[in-house]
Structure 1
Amino acid sequence: MTVLIRHALLLCICLVAGINSTHALQQEELDNLRKHISVLQKELEKTTESQSEAADELRESERTISNSKRKLAELSSQHRAADHTLEKLRQQGQQIERDMQSQQAMLSKLLYQQYLGGKQEYFKLLLNNHDPDQTAREMRYYEYIARSRSTWLNMLRVNLAQLNEVVQLTQQKSGEIAALQAEENAQQKILEKDKLARQQVINQFAQQLKQQRHEIGRLQRDENRLSQLVAKLSKMLTQKKGKGVFNNDKLPDNRFDGKPFEQLKGKLTLPVMGEVVNKFGSARPDSTVLWRGLLLRAANGQPVKSVAAGRVVFADWLRGFGNLLIIDHGKGYMSLYGNNETLYKQVGDILRGGDTVAAVGNSGGNEDSGVYFELRHRGEPLDPIKWIAR
């Protein structure tokens, strides 16, 4: 038996060590991924044009707005969770108080009965010439009363201790909520300041931004830059692993999670409820540069959903596409979401289909709010229309 116990303990230790080792490897892989992508981003920035161009003036302000809104969303989520916990604690405290009132009432009845009878009842039962069986039954009855009193007293003590603990936790959680509220207010002020700074940049460079939107050479450079980014990401991930009318009243969900991405052709849903304003492969307005994806016009701040399960491999500002998020779906398939106001997810985050990944915006110097959506396979753009359920 001792040998079996020893083997069981060794097995448990090995399992725990294996879990810790797996977690460490996953964290190391994530850190390496973020490091490589950070290097890639710096390389792209070094090879771009002069930093004095209008779009580059927007970069820091739009990055900051995205970070501020992501932080605000995280604080709001923590606030909601804390409120939920506080409400549960209050309900628990109320239930304990009700239980204590019931226990106190029962205990009062028992004490009152004992007061009326007192200890002399035991002697009366013994001295009276009653039937011995009846006397035994009545003695047992008094014993039950004494046990009940002890039980109710113990329950009352336990509940009192629980109530004190709940009161302390409630006070602690209330303090946490107050701190979160203060931090939310501070973050909101920072966000308003960031938005004002961005608007000042837009006002300052309004004419220049307008010209750049239709400048063929710039549009082509933006497209080339995105293609280079996707190609390098695909190569990096491959090496790592080697080692019409559409139903716009729905948003992506997780019903296809677990299926290979190539099997989802004709089944996907657009990442945001909006109007498709262009055709894949057609020329952009007043230029010969072709659309490699879909521009979905939508209200500012609307949630942008991941079209399928995957992992975030890029979440940063890119010239011409603003706050851009790229999701790797495996086997060389990627989805791209550009011009967002806020990026809620970061590099390395694992996603399910339908997860909110961003918020609609017009970052990157666009006039209208919306999302630029692309699908790519091994770096080559795919027509999203053919992948969307009609």
Structure 2
Amino acid sequence: MLCLSMTGMASSAMAASNTRAVQKNKAEADRLELQNRLKSLKNDINKTETAKDNASDALAESEKSISEANRSLRDLQTEQSETEGKIKQLAEEQQRIAAKVEKQKNQLSSFLRRQYMRGDSDRIKLLLSGDNPNRINRELQYMSYVSQTQAKMIDALRVSLKAAEKNADDAREAKAELDEIADEEKSHKSALEKEKKRHATLLSQLAEKLYIQKKQADSLEKDEQRLGNLVSQLNKLIEEQAKADAARAALEEKQRQERIAAAQKERARQAAQGKKPAKITNPNAIDADEPPRQAKAETPPPGEFDKLKGQLRLPVKGEIVAKYGSKRADGPSWKGMFIKASEGAEIKSIAPGKVIFADWWKGYGNMIIVDHGGQYWSLYGNNQAVLKHVGDIVKAGDVIASAGNSGGIEESGLYFEVRHQGRTFDPLNWIVVK
């Protein structure tokens, strides 16, 4: 009985051991399969991210090319307008010269006709006539005046004809220049159309991926964080420049004071030696040999932008579809405002200032930032093209960009921010909306 019981227990233990071994092997196989699936998924994710990054880089290059082409077209159109004005002026000048030439020809013809009708003798015949010497002298003097008048009229006509010839040459050159501009403009337009088609293809390829990406709040936060880092870096550069300018000004003032002190010391020495010191009419003046320093183009002084509160205009004509502080459906609140506008619409600077950034920036496309002084900045993003360069001085109302949908957004318009000391605030409190 005992033996049978022992045998049964051993059999049960063996069966349980076999079951555990099978379960262990299955679990190991499942784990291995899961690891392989995860590895494959990671590879797929990496491939997708690489393709997306490559496409994003291509999109950035395309949008920068479109911006540059648009800027070149605008410059060509300005040059074309100036050349057309020049041609118009030359045509008016040509008419004036032609009228003057015709008048001079008529005067000369009338003069010669009168001389012929008078039948005046030449000088030789007059001298040999044996007439009264006094009369001969008067006639000779009169003929001299006539000759001088005739020579002056001929010279004046020659000058006018030469001016007419030069005017015609200038007009031909201007026309050739205008034709050259037109050909160059045609070439730029063709390149722009090709780039726009490539841009449309890239946008189509990226649409789904970018849509998913924009739905993720962390992506928007990263875009804002990158922009915040850019603002911090620009602030730091401006502060460093201000410190450098202040240090340079202090050094120049110190050197000026040292020159004044040296001049006064020399004057005192001359007085002590009994010499008459040189008179100093302006003791604060810098040496006369030093040329006057040219004033630098600076941003408006602090406090000027504060005076514009409630007087600013929207930078572009359009519909405000997102306001400062409103909640995004898929992420953080808006730090600025989005104005829906047609592609290519003119974007104008809201106030005088200096361009401190004009380039493509991830999440904001072709972007331009203007420093208005007093640590006030305005930012214009998602542009089709930026039309100004870093360092350019702009006035209120100057066209600085054209509206678009760069940066991967689906709708054409302008993303607009205003910042003070690097922090955003509601621009609608400063802007008159009509």
Fold agreement, TM-score > 0.5: yes
- Point out the more displaced range, 55-64 or 267-276: 55-64
DSSP 3-state at the match of 1:301:
coil
Please name the residue that 1:294 is paired with.
Answer: 337
C-alpha offsets along residues 231-260 of structure 1, whole Å, 9 cap, x if unaligned?
2111211210122xxxxxxxxxxxx99971
C-alpha offsets along residues 355-375 of structure 1, whole Å, 9 cap, x if unaligned?
100111111111111111111
Please name the residue that 2:89 is paired with.
Answer: 88
Query: Which of 284, 294, 306 is 2:349 aligned to?
Result: 306
Please say if residues 318 and 340 of structure 2, whose CA atoms lie closer than 8 Å, have aligned partners that are also in contact: yes
Please name the residue that 2:59 is paired with.
Answer: 58
For 2:173 and 2:331, locate their aligned partners in 1 and report how far apart those are by CA, in whole Å.
Answer: 62
Shift, 1:135, TM fit: 11
Please name the residue that 2:306 is paired with.
Answer: 262
Shift, 1:347, TM fit: 1.0
Question: What letter is aligned with 2:89?
Answer: K
Please name the residue that 2:9 is paired with.
Answer: none
C-alpha spacing 1:365/1:117, structure 2 compared with 1 (3 Å)? same
Query: Which of 248, 272, 275 is 2:316 aligned to?
Result: 272
1:1-390 equivalent positions in 2, closer than 5 A: 52=53, 55-120=56-121, 145-243=146-244, 260-284=304-328, 286-389=329-432
Shift, 1:143, TM fit: 6.2
Shift, 1:120, TM fit: 3.0
Question: What letter is aligned with 1:278?
Answer: A
For 1:50 and 1:355, locate their aligned partners in 2 and report how far apart those are by CA, in whole Å.
Answer: 40
Q: Identify the structure with bigger relative contact order (alpha carbons < 8 Å, sequence gap 6+).
A: 1
Is the radius of gyration larger for structure 1 or structure 2?
2
Please say if residues 52 and 206 of structure 2, whose CA atoms lie closer than 8 Å, have aligned partners that are also in contact: no
Question: What letter is aligned with 1:341?
Answer: Q
Please say if residues 316 and 348 of structure 2, whose CA atoms lie closer than 8 Å, have aligned partners that are also in contact: yes
DSSP 3-state at the match of 1:330:
coil
Aligned residues: 329
Query: Cα RMSD between the aligned structures?
Result: 3.1
TM-score (norm 2): 0.69
C-alpha spacing 1:324/1:50, structure 2 compared with 1 (3 Å)? farther
Please say if residues 54 and 208 of structure 1, whose CA atoms lie closer than 8 Å, have aligned partners that are also in contact: no
Shift, 1:51, TM fit: 6.8
For 1:322 and 1:118, locate their aligned partners in 2 and report how far apart those are by CA, in whole Å.
Answer: 87
C-alpha spacing 1:52/1:146, structure 2 compared with 1 (3 Å)? same
For 2:173 and 2:232, locate their aligned partners in 1 and report how far apart those are by CA, in whole Å.
Answer: 51
C-alpha offsets along residues 314-371 of structure 1, whole Å, 9 cap, x if unaligned?
1111111111001111221111001110111111111111110011111111111111
Shift, 1:191, TM fit: 0.3
- Point out the more displaced range, 323-332 or 164-173: 164-173
For 2:181 and 2:219, locate their aligned partners in 1 and report how far apart those are by CA, in whole Å.
Answer: 44
Question: What letter is aligned with 2:166?
Answer: E
Please say if residues 301 and 374 of structure 2, whose CA atoms lie closer than 8 Å, have aligned partners that are also in contact: no
Q: Structure 1 residue runs of 4+, over 4 Å off?
A: 121-127, 133-147, 256-259
Shift, 1:148, TM fit: 3.5
Shift, 1:126, TM fit: 11
Shift, 1:175, TM fit: 1.6
DSSP 3-state at the match of 1:341:
strand
DSSP 3-state at the match of 1:315:
strand
C-alpha spacing 1:324/1:143, structure 2 compared with 1 (3 Å)? same
Shift, 1:150, TM fit: 2.7
**Which runs of no fewer than 5 residues in structure 2 stay unpaired?**
1-49, 129-133, 245-299
**Which runs of no fewer than 5 residues in structure 1 stay unpaired?**
1-48, 128-132, 244-255
For 1:54 and 1:387, locate their aligned partners in 2 and report how far apart those are by CA, in whole Å.
Answer: 39
